[in-house]
Amino acid sequence: MKPKARHKLKKSEIKRIAERIKETKTGDTAHLLKSGAIEVAEFTDHTILLVDGVASFFELGDGLFIPTLKGVMKSEIHGKKVVVDSGAVRFIANGADVMGPGIVEADEEIEIDDIIVVVDERHKKPLAIGRALKKGRDMRSPGRSVKSLHHVGDKIWNLE
């Protein structure tokens, strides 16, 4: 999928977006916007922030940008994480929400509505970006624990 529009950002726009990124509770990610070429690519249903040509953040809504999986992998963003067992991997890679019984480990600092990275138990590779539906200490309880916002193989992952 090709973007409808793509343009470089002014320093004032970058500063505004960096402030919004801090509001999403994704850990220390705003520093990524201080280096390299920053562009915005607008697609039919997504607005993507490109850092050095890599789709690193996407707009969730209301001007909030959260990291993409490629952004997490390229920039080694160290945010809050949930580790899932190998039985949950194929479901999460297909866009399913993360259920409590599939969680092996969750950061204790996770609060409801935090943006988190879901990784697999074996290789610790990112599978999805999601929003916490429970606190970290309650993640392993039955029911949905993380709402999937972006996963391996979705439209954002496959952007050119």
- Segment 25-41, tens digit of pLDDT: 565 555 566 666 788 88
98-156 pLDDT, tens digit per residue, is 999 999 999 999 999 999 999 999 999 999 999 999 999 999 999 999 999 999 999 88
Token representation of residue 29: 């990610």
CA atoms of 141 and 57, how far apart (whole Å): 30
- What are the tokens at 104? 């092996």
CATH architecture of 5-75: Roll (3.10)
Domain ranges of the chain: 5-75, 81-151
Instruction: Specify whether domain 81-151 bears CATH 2.30.130.10.
Output: yes
pTM: 0.86
The three-class DSSP label of residue 32 is helix
Domains 5-75 and 81-151 share a fold: no
Buried b (16+ CB within 10 A) or exposed e, 130-156: bbbbbebeebbeeeebbebbbbbebeb
